[in-house]
Amino acid sequence: MSTASDAAAEKKGFGKSAMAVAQRIGRSLMLPVAVLPAAALMVRLGQDDLLGKKSLPHFLNKIAEFLAAGGGAIINNMALLFAVGVAIGFAKKSDGSTALAAVAGYLVFQKVLATFKDGSLPQVEAVVDHKVALVNQDVDAKVLGGIVMGLVVALIYQRFYRTKLPDWAGFFGGRRLVPILSSFAGLFIGIAFGYVWPVLGKGLHNFGEWLVGSGAVGAGIFGVANRGLIPIGMHHLLNSFPWFQAGSFDGPKGAVSGDIARFLAKDPSAGQFMTGFFPIMMFALPAACLAIVHCARPENRKVVGGMMFSLALTAFVTGVTEPIEFTFMFVAPVLYAVHAVLTGVSMALTWALGMKDGFGFSAGAIDFLLNWGIASKPWMLILVGLCFAVIYYVVFRFAITKFNLMTPGREVDPEFAEAAKGVAAAAEAKPGKGSKAAKSSTSAKPAKSAKSAKSQESVKDAASAKDAKAAPAAKSKG
């Protein structure tokens, strides 16, 4: 009996520790996630269908180049930002050397991994022996690689940041040792990923081929798998065949392949793997943001509200939802699983009802409006989106409060507390009638208390004087 209870207790303890680790990952990602909305907006505005249109003035095209380059610098290096964020968030008493070690370790990991090629992705043009040829793309672990390297660097820092080396190598001891060890860790982890990643990629590619001929069911399964693979950064491997290779259509500019290109070429059968994302990205996830704000502690609500509003606006306008998903992906994995399933439901439902829409960038309002003329029943996507918004708000609010999920603003976080104090101080600093009344009431209280104290002292003085007069009289009588 005791053995069974010990095993149950051990299992429960492991579950708690695993959840604590996941929550620490989620908290550490808040810093890099904060820069993503601005980057996503810059990238979207810089696309060829907006400010980059050739029909627009040259200076606007130049601005589009600047915006796309600036935003792309953040988006394309998101894994590096995550590596630094996780390393700093996990390592106790972290400092600048922790961030330096994370950068060094991840760069080594990335370059070693790039020596491996991924045959499951579409080939790209490259210059080989002074000739343009099609070659396989480099293996890229993306966000998962950044998170793994961040965790490894944090553990290395905790173990070795106080290590002392012999006198002849003393310069390399302590914190200087951490970036060195992190570089070697990146080397070995990069080699391991290089052999494992293409095998997984090939399997996902074959899975994507099977989904193409499965109708609404295939669209639904694709939606679940697409969202489910985001935490490990392998969703782009699944996307490669349905989005860029599946099917063929003779458009105005020649034959094109892939769901995205065929839809933009006005193929009436395209959109199977894109349509259902619009209700989720434009309506459902912003509603989830609202639920997270309403579930935050009262003192944190303004700070969390500002952050979640920017994330919701980015998702609605551009269709970039990873910043929202990373806020609850690790702190509430079950809730994220529900989100993945509901995404699949949206994908299957919209395709089964004959709705067809697509995007060149992502399923946001910009692409929705740009492609309105070539979409089928786009107005119905708005109705479906509003329904999913209600479902997401109810599900998220119930789950967060019922199971006490530590979404942003739910726990005592020094960063949120400091920001909340700043907001409160700014509110108190604003002049107004309320502040004057409060000031007068606070000034009146000390005056009243001083008056009462003075009256009490006078009563005591009178009593002592009376006792002094009575004492000689009693003495003479005796």
What are the pLDDT digits (tens) for 371-409?
A: 999 899 999 999 999 999 999 999 999 999 998 888 888
Gyration radius from the chain CA atoms = 31
Residue 324 lies in a domain: yes
Residue 459 lies in a domain: no
Q: What angle do CA 269, 270, 273 make, to 5 degrees?
A: 130
The residue behind tokens 């309506």 is: 283
Contacts of 60-65 with C-beta under 8 Å, sequence gap 24+, read none
User: For residue 406, what is the enclosing H or E element?
Assistant: none
Residues in the chain predicted with pLDDT less than 50, given as ranges, are 433-455, 459-460, 463, 465-478
The residue behind tokens 């080396």 is: 165
Residue 29 lies in a domain: no
Q: Tokens for 55, please give them.
A: 């029909």
The residue behind tokens 């639920």 is: 291
Residue 136 lies in a domain: no
Residue 307 lies in a domain: yes
Q: What is the DSSP string of 173-221?
A: -GGGHHHHHHHHHHHHHHHHHHHHHHHHHHHHHHHHHHHHTSHHHHHHH
* Residue (of 35, 34, 33, 27) closest to 154 by Cα position: 27
The residue behind tokens 């003393």 is: 170
Alpha-carbon distances of 473 from 55, 195, 282, 285, 464, rounded to whole Å: 114, 110, 95, 91, 15
* Residues spanned by the domain of 231: 213-425
Helix (H, G, I), strand (E, B) or coil at 141: coil
Q: What's the whole-model pTM score?
A: 0.72
> So what's the pLDDT on residue 60?
92
CB 280 within 8 A of CB 293: no
> So what's the pLDDT on residue 417?
55
Eight-class DSSP state of 283 = I
> So what's the pLDDT on residue 451?
46
Residue 127 lies in a domain: no
Q: Which residues on neighbouring strands pair with residue 257, listed in sequence order?
A: 248
- Domain count within the chain: 1
Burial of 160 (0-12, 13-18, 19+ CB in 10 A): middle
CB 245 within 8 A of CB 232: no
Q: Tokens for 13, please give them.
A: 């303890």
> So what's the pLDDT on residue 35?
81
Residue 71 lies in a domain: no
Residue 52 lies in a domain: no
